[in-house]
């Protein structure tokens, strides 16, 4: 299929906006992505013509809303190539998905002195839930170090396993460095030690095909809003045998089979983990977004973004005083940088005045900042609608700002 970038951009009305008199150059896709019309239309249509609470209603609208919601679960299953919709739990996003595992897996499978392996490049959402568990259960958090290029030290990873290791929880792609971790190999290593793996897919699911059966991970988390879908919805994939073993996360409606004051029994998967009214409209939006990605072809999106990443790396390296943070050859769609001694916040603020949206700061990865010996970076992160012209605008903008200092 031809990747017709102009036609694709027409699907995203916001890209036509002018910011301070400049055409918007949106390079903050790592934080959230823009939404194609099909997604917003699906939300509006459902609210206007279907809206009713799901699962419990006998009336027409409730059944239609339920069908849409459960069809969306099937779309997610297909997108991830999971074995069954029982393995697809709707959450509010990656953060909630990881907290769910920390809470439920921590409750069922971890005791004082047990260990979890995470890495130095994790987002706070894959650090703090484990620290909360640590304060409840006195578990130990072991950390895989990274090298100066921003890659995980795999030999050190192997050495972290011992008989108390209960779980590995690592990011697929770093939201700061762009490093794509060799997750398949890391999962095999963990499984060889009998240890399950949770993959934080917040920065991988939007960019390339992720196949649960091929990866063989035990849990996988991603966010709808970073995947061109609505805010407030995300996914936790879990292998059925693990999910069956875990206790519920929250209590309430939907997650029960029968309730009495003496004894409550829990619903079957995946509903056991979905207490309360789900965001059944957002699930429809998410499924439209995933269908949109599938129709474009994840391999085409990947090829396009790889080309952008290569081009951006080359152009950025032409800038005097440029320091790229994260130099792994296995990178995807993220360029973090600092220029001379220009503060990242100044750079971000001045780029904004040129209509260029980038993110600045520690990117919710303070331990990584400490490791790299910096306070923060400027981060340009690409999406399926970005162009080389936009990268030229970024480079020209940086040059202008550099000359001001
Ligand atoms: N993990 C990574 C690698 C991320 O980049 C992010 C968001 O930036 C998250 C987790 C948290 O995602 P959310 O805020 O959608 O829950």
| Whether residue 321 has a cis bond before it, omega within 30° of 0 | no
CA of 229 to the centre of ligand 1 (A): 14
Q: For residue 123, how far is its CA from the centre of ligand 1 (angstroms)?
A: 7
* Whether pLDDT at 39 is above 60: yes
- pLDDT tens digits along 100-131: 999 999 999 999 999 999 999 999 999 999 99
Per-residue confidence at 57, pLDDT binned at 50, 70, 90? Answer: confident
Q: Which atom of ligand 1 is nearest to the CA of 92?
A: 16
pLDDT of residue 164: 98
Active site residues per annotation:
364
Given a cut of 80, whether residue 215 has pLDDT beyond it is yes
Task: Compute, in angstroms, the gap from residue 58 CA to the centroid of ligand 1.
Answer: 37
Q: Across residues 362-391, what is the average pLDDT?
A: 97
Whether 259 has a pLDDT exceeding 90, the answer reads yes
Q: What's the confidence (pLDDT) of residue 212?
A: 98
**pLDDT value, residue 2:** 78
Average pLDDT, the chain: 97
Q: What per-residue confidence (pLDDT) applies to 1?
A: 56
Give the span between the Cα atoms of 149 and 328, in whole angstroms: 5
How much is the average pLDDT of 345-359? 98
Task: Give the CA diameter of the chain.
Answer: 73
pLDDT digits (tens, 9 = 90+) for 18-27: 999 999 999 9
> 344, 375 in Cβ contact below 8 A?
yes
pLDDT above 60 (res 85): yes
- 249-265 average pLDDT score: 92
Q: Using CA positions, which residue lies closest to atom 12 of ligand 1?
A: 94
Average pLDDT (339-347) is: 97
Question: Looking at residues 283-302, what average pLDDT do you find?
Answer: 98
The residues, any chain, with a CB within 8 Å of residue 252's CB and separated by 6 or more, are 275, 276
pLDDT at 344 over 90: yes
How much of the chain, in percent, has pLDDT values that exceed 70? 100
Task: Choose one of 98, 100, 123 to mutate for the ligand 1 pocket test, by most ligand atoms within 8 angstroms of C-beta.
Answer: 123
Closest ligand 1 atom, residue 171 Cα: 3
* Per-residue pLDDT at 56: 81
Report which ligand 1 atom has the smallest distance to the Cα of 175.
5
Instruction: State the pTM of this model.
Output: 0.98
Please state the atom number of ligand 1 nearest to the C-alpha of residue 96: 16
Q: How far is the CA of 29 from the centre of ligand 1 (A)?
A: 11
User: For a substitution probing ligand 1, which of 122, 125, 366 has the most ligand atoms within 8 Å of its CB?
Assistant: 125
Q: 94, 100, 289: which to mutate for ligand 1, most atoms within 8 A of CB?
A: 94
Q: Ligand 1: residues whose CB is within 6 Å?
A: 30, 93-95, 123, 125, 171, 175, 200, 202-203, 223, 364
């Amino acid at each position: 299929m031809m990747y017709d970038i102009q036609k694709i951009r027409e699907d995203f009305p916001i890209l036509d906006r002018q910011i301070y008199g400049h055409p918007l150059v949106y390079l903050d896709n790592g934080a959230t992505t823009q939404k194609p019309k099909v997604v917003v239309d699906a939300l509006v249509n459902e609210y206007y013509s279907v809206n009713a609470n799901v699962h419990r209603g006998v009336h027409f609208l409730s059944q239609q809303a339920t069908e849409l919601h459960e069809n969306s679960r099937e779309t997610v299953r297909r997108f991830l190539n999971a074995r069954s919709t029982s393995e697809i739990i709707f959450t509010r996003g990656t953060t909630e998905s990881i907290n769910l595992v920390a809470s439920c897996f921590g409750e069922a499978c971890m005791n004082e002195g047990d260990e979890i392996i995470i890495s130095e490049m994790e987002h706070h959402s894959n650090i703090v839930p484990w620290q909360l568990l640590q304060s409840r259960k006195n578990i130990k958090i072991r950390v895989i170090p990274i090298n100066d290029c921003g890659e995980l030290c795999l030999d050190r990873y192997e050495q972290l396993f011992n008989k108390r290791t209960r779980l590995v929880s690592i990011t697929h792609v770093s939201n700061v460095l762009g490093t794509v971790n060799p997750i398949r190999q890391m999962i095999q290593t963990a499984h060889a030690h009998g240890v399950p793996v949770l993959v934080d897919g917040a920065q991988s699911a939007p960019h390339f095909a992720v196949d649960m059966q091929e990866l063989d991970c035990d849990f996988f988390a991603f966010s709808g809003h970073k995947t061109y879908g609505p805010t407030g919805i995300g996914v936790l994939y879990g292998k059925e045998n693990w999910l069956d073993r875990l206790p519920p996360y929250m209590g309430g409606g939907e997650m029960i089979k029968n309730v009495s004051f003496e004894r409550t029994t829990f619903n079957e998967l995946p509903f056991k983990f979905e207490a309360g009214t789900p965001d059944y409209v957002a699930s429809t939006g998410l499924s439209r977004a995933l269908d949109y990605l599938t129709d474009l072809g994840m391999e085409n999106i990947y090829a396009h973004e790889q080309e952008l990443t290569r081009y951006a790396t080359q152009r950025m390296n032409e800038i005097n005083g440029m320091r790229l943070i994260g130099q792994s050859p296995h990178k995807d769609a993220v360029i973090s940088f600092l220029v001379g001694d220009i503060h990242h916040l100044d750079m971000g603020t001045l780029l904004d005045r040129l209509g260029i949206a980038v993110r600045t700061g520690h990117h919710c990865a303070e331990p990584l900042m400490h490791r790299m010996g910096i306070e923060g970076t400027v981060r340009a992160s690409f999406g399926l609608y970005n162009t080389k012209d936009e990268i030229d605008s970024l480079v020209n903008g940086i040059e202008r700002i550099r000359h001001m200092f």
